[in-house]
A and B are shown apart, each in its own frame.
Chain A
Amino acid sequence: MSSIDYQLSQLDLLEAESIHIMREVAAEFERPGLLFSGGKDSIVMLRLAEKAFWPAKIPFPLMHVDTGHNFDEVIDFRDRRVNELGARLIVASVEDAIAEGLVVDPTGPRASRNSIQTVPLLKGIIDNKFDAVFGGARRDEEKARAKERVFSFRDEFGQWDPKAQRPELWSLYNGRHRQGEHIRIFPLSNWTELDIWQYIQREELELPSIYYAHRRPVFWRDNMLMAVTDVTPADEGAEVFETEVRYRTVGDMTCTAAVESDADTLDKIIEDVAASRITERGATRADDRASEAAMEDRKREGYF
C-alpha cells in the first residue's frame, strides 16, 4: 500500500465495513450463527469472517437451510469448504420439518419448497438459541431489501417489521434484544452483484461449478431456463434441449433458473454481469415473480 494515497478502493472499503460488522457481532452477542448455502454471497461472507478473526478460527457455527432440492455440486462444495475451515455446520432440514409435520410438502407440477424454508430456518434459530444470524443478502438485490438495516431486528416469531426499524447511524449498530428475539445481520448490505464477482476474483475464491458455463438439458418455463432434474421434470409440452448455461444464484432447484451463457471463466462472468440488463433475481428467481411485493411479504414472515 502506498503511503501517499489514503483512499481505499471500493472493494477494500466494503471489506473493511463487513469485517467491522462481523467483529461487532462476535463481541456483543452470545450465540451468533452464519447462514451458509454454498452460494456466491455466502462464500464471500465466509471469507470475510475468516479475515475478521484470523489467525483464530471463525468463532461461530455455520447453518444451512437445506430444502433437499439443492444442486449436488453445491452440497459437495459446501461440505468440502466446511471441512477445510474446520468449522461446525448445522443443517436445518426442510425434509425433517416435513417428516415432523411442521410443514406440508407442496405438491403439483410446479411445487417449490422455497416458501416453506422459513419454518426450518426459524426452528434452527430457536433450537440453536442463536441471538444473531448472519445472512448474505444485499440491498441491490431487491427493493424491500434496499430499506433493511444491517442489524435487522426480529421479534420472537422471527418477523420483520419494516415500519419499526431502528435508525442506523455512523458505524454504531444497535443489537439490543430480549430473550427469544434475534437480530439478522447483513454484512454484505452495501455490496452489489458486480462487487461480489470482483471480490471473488481478487480473493481467488473457489465456487461451485454450476456458476460457470456448462452444458445441460433444459426447458423454457415462463421465459426462464429450467434445468431438467428429478424435482423439476420438463413441463408437459415443453421442448427439452441441451445448451450452454450458468447460474447467477444457486437457490432451491425448483425455483432457480439458469441463464444462457458461455462464460466459463471469472473474467467472462464479470464481463457478463457488467453488461447484464436484468437483475439476478429478476432473471432467475421464480419466487420473486409472484408479485411486486413477493419478497417483502416473505421477509415479514421471517424469510432470509
Chain B
Amino acid sequence: MELLRLATAGSVDDGKSTLIGRLLYDSKSIFEDQLEAVERTSRDQGAEYTNLALLTDGLRAEREQGITIDVAYRYFATPKRKFIIADTPGHIQYTRNMVTGASTANLTMILVDARNGVIEQSRRHAFLSSLLRVPHVVMLVNKMDLVDYDEAAYQKVADDFRAFAAKLDIPDLTIIPISALQGDNVVHRSENMPWYEGSSLLHHLENIHIGSDQNLIDVRFPVQYVIRPQSDAFHDYRGYAGTVSGGTIKVGDEVMVQPSGLTSRVVGIDLFGEELQEAHPPMSVSVRLADDLDISRGDMLCRPHNHPHATQDLDAMVVWMQQGTRIQEGNRYIIKHTTRTAKTIVKDLQYRLDINDLHRDEKTTSLGLNEIGRLTLRITQPLFVDEYRRNRQTGSFILIDEASGATVAAGMVVDTDV
C-alpha cells in the first residue's frame, strides 16, 4: 500500500474541518468513542447538529477558544492508500503552520467557499504551496449546495484561480466542485453536478501518481551516522548510515565524498542484514565503500560528475516563524541543513515578498512573524546544497536561535551561484 501526505488550507469557515471529518467518516476512520465524545461536546455547546469539525480540534486551548492553533496530523486509509493529513489552520497569522504542513506534503488541498470565490487567503495558500514546491495541488470549490450546484458559479471561481496559479510554479493543478457538508464529489461523483466530468476527491487522492515526486536523478546521500560495531563478527565493518535524499545508489557505483572530493566505489548497501542492490529516496540504509576514507556525519556522498554545490553563501527564500522577534541584516543564527549544522550571519535582506500580490518590497529592513523574504546568508563552513526546486531535501534548511534553541525560520535555496 502506498502512502500519500496531504496538507490542507482554507480560510476560517470555508469548511476544512467538515471536509476532513467527512473523509475520515466516510472512510470509516472515525471510531465510535471519538464520535460519541464529539456528539457530547456538540450537545454541551448547544449545537443542533454534530459538529464534525470537533474531531480535528485537539487541544484544550483550542476547544476553549474555538479555533485551531497548530498543525495536527490525521490518518485514514482506504483499501488503496494510506493518507496522512497535516491539518493546518488558514488564519492570516498562521502562514507558519501551513509552511510546516506543506514541507512534507505530496499534495495540498485548498478550499474556497463558492459564494466568496478566490479571496486573498486562497491566493496566499496557493503561493505557499508553490513556494514549498508541493508537487500536486487540488483546489476545492466548496459549498456548491449554497450556489445551487451552478456550473457558471463554479467556472468563475475556477477561472480566477487558474489565472492566479499561472503566475506560480504549480506542476499539477486539479479543481473539483464539492459540498463537504452534503458529500457531493467527496467520495462519490455527485448527481447534482452532471456537468462536472472529473473524478471525486477521494478517487483523485487514491489514484494520483506520486512515484515521480522524488528526485531520482541526482544521487545525494548525506551521511548521518557512522556504524562501527567493533565486535568480533563484524570487526572491520564500517557503514555510512543515512537517508537517500536523491537519485538511486547502486552497488558498484562510483561515488564522490564531499567535502574531501575523494572517490570510491559502493560495495554494499545494508538494511538489517539484508544486502540491497540499490537504494532510492527516502530509504534509510547503510552504505559500505571499497576504500577506507575519512568520512563523518555531515559529509555528502554523490557522483563525481553530479554533485551539490559546496558553498558558504546561500541565496534563499526564508519564512520567519517566531512571534515577537525579527530577522535583519547582521543577525546570527544556527543553520541546520541535511545532517550539517553550522553558524550563519544574514548578509543581505534583498526584499520582502508580499504574498498577496507577489510584490517585492525592496525597502524592507527586517522580517517579522509569517513574513517571507529573500536573503543572502554567509555560513561558517561549506554546505552541500541544491536549489530547492531540484531537491526539497538538499535545498531546505532551518534557522535556530542560539540562545533559546527555538526554530525561528524555514529556508529554501533559490540560487546556488552567489
A1 touches B278 (CB 8 A): yes
Does A190 lie within 8 Å of B73, measured CB to CB? yes
Q: How far is the CA of A146 from the CA of B284 in the complex (A)?
A: 25
- What string of 1s and 0s marks CB contacts (under 8 Å) between A134-154 and chain B? 000001100110110000010
Q: Which of A9, A20, A146, A162 contacts B61 (CB 8 A)?
A: A162
Closest-CB distance, A197 to chain B (whole angstroms): 13
Whether A7 sits at the interface, judged by CB under 8 Å, is: yes
Q: Would you give the shortest CB distance from B261 to chain A, in whole angstroms?
A: 23
Known A-B contacts A8-B283, A283-B33; A178 and B405 likewise in contact (beta carbons under 8 Å)? yes
Stretch of B111-119, B187-195, B391-399 lying at the A interface: B391-399
Provide the bound-state CA to CA distance between A192 and B216, in Å.
28
B166 at the interface (CB under 8 A from A): no
Using A51-B271, A143-B58, A167-B407 as known contacts, say yes or no to A10 and B2 having CB atoms under 8 A apart.
yes
**Interface residue? B229 (CB, 8 A):** yes
Q: Which residues of B contact A278 (CB under 8 A)?
A: 31-33
Given A172-B398, A277-B31, decide whether A23 and B410 contact each other with a Cβ distance below 8 A: no
CB distance from B3 to the nearest CB of A (A): 4
Q: Are B60 and A192 in contact (CB under 8 A)?
A: no
Partner of A292, one of B1, B37, B393: B37
Tell me whether A146 and B3 are in contact (CB under 8 A).
no
Interface window among A53-61, A117-125, A244-252 = A53-61
Q: Give Cα A50–Cα B282 distance, bound, in whole angstroms.
A: 19
In the complex, residue of chain A having the shortest beta-carbon distance to the beta carbon of B35: A277
* Closest partner residue, chain B, to A288 (CB atom): B33
Verify if B315 is at the interface (C-beta below 8 Å from A): no
Stretch at the interface among B96-104, B300-308, B377-385: B96-104
- Evaluate whether A189 and B3 lie within 8 angstroms (CB atoms) in the complex, with A8-B282, A296-B59 already known: no
Contact with B along A145-171 (1 / 0, CB 8 A): 011000001000000001101111111
Please give, as numbers and ranges, the residues of chain B lying within 8 Å of A194 by CB-CB distance: 77
**In the complex where A16-B283, A20-B224, A23-B241 touch, is A50 in contact with B407 (Cβ < 8 A)?**
no
CB closest residue in chain A, given B28 = A277
Q: Cβ of B73 and Cβ of A146 under 8 Å apart?
A: yes
A57 and B59 contacting across the interface, CB-CB below 8 Å = no
Residue A267, interface by CB 8 Å: no
| Residue B69 interfacial (CB < 8 Å) | yes
Select from chain A the residue with minimum beta-carbon distance to B87: A146
Instruction: Give a binary string over B223-236; 1 marks a CB under 8 Å from any A CB, 0 the rest.
Output: 01101111101100
Known: A147-B58, A147-B59, A162-B70. A172 touches B278 (CB 8 A): no
B1 touches A9 (CB 8 A): yes
Shortest CB-to-CB span from B192 to chain A, Å, is 30
Number of interface residues of B (CB under 8 A): 80
Q: Tell me which residues across on chain A come within 8 A of B407, comparing CB atoms.
A: 166-169, 174
Closest approach, in angstroms, between the C-beta of B212 and any C-beta of chain A? Answer: 8
From A139, A169, A177, contact of B100 by CB (8 A): A169
In the complex, the answer to whether A10 meets B3 with C-beta atoms within 8 Å is: yes
Nearest A residue to B211, CB-CB: A7
**A192 adjacent to B406 (CB under 8 Å):** no
Q: How many residues of A contact B (CB 8 A)?
A: 64
Given contacts A17-B282, A139-B73, contact A171 B405 (CB under 8 A): no
Expressed in whole angstroms, the Cα–Cα distance for A146 and B3 within the complex equals: 18
Given known A-B contacts A27-B225, A162-B70, A192-B75, A144 and B59 have beta carbons under 8 A apart: yes
Q: Does A52 contact B (CB under 8 A)?
A: yes
Does chain A have a CB within 8 A of B49? no
Q: What mask results when residues 64 to 97 of chain B are scored 1 for a CB within 8 Å of chain A, else 0? A: 0000011111110100011010000000000011
State whether the Cβ of B171 lies closer than 8 Å to any Cβ in chain A.
no
Task: Return A290 CB to nearest CB of chain B, in Å.
Answer: 13
A25 CB, min distance to chain B CBs, angstroms: 10
A218 → B minimal CB distance (Å) = 20
Separation in Å of the A59 CB from the closest CB of chain B? 9
Q: Distance in Å from the Cβ of A187 to the closest Cβ of chain B?
A: 11
Contact A167 B282 (CB under 8 A): no
- Interface pair A163/B61, CB less than 8 Å apart: yes
From the candidates A9, A10, A163, A192, name the one contacting B69 in the complex (CB within 8 A).
A163
Can you list the 7 inter-chain pairs with the closest CB atoms, starting with the nearest? Answer: A282-B33, A176-B405, A19-B284, A56-B229, A143-B58, A10-B3, A169-B103
User: 21 A-B contacts, Cβ less than 8 Å apart?
Assistant: A5-B211, A9-B3, A16-B284, A20-B243, A53-B241, A54-B272, A55-B229, A146-B58, A167-B321, A169-B103, A169-B396, A170-B392, A171-B393, A172-B396, A172-B398, A177-B405, A195-B82, A277-B31, A292-B63, A293-B63, A297-B60
Chain B residues in the interface with A (C-beta under 8 A): 1-3, 28, 31-34, 37, 41, 57-61, 63, 69-75, 77, 81-82, 84, 96-97, 99-100, 103-104, 210-211, 214, 216, 224-225, 227-231, 233-234, 237, 241-243, 248, 270-273, 276-278, 280-284, 286, 297, 321, 334, 336-337, 339, 392-393, 396-398, 400, 405-407, 410
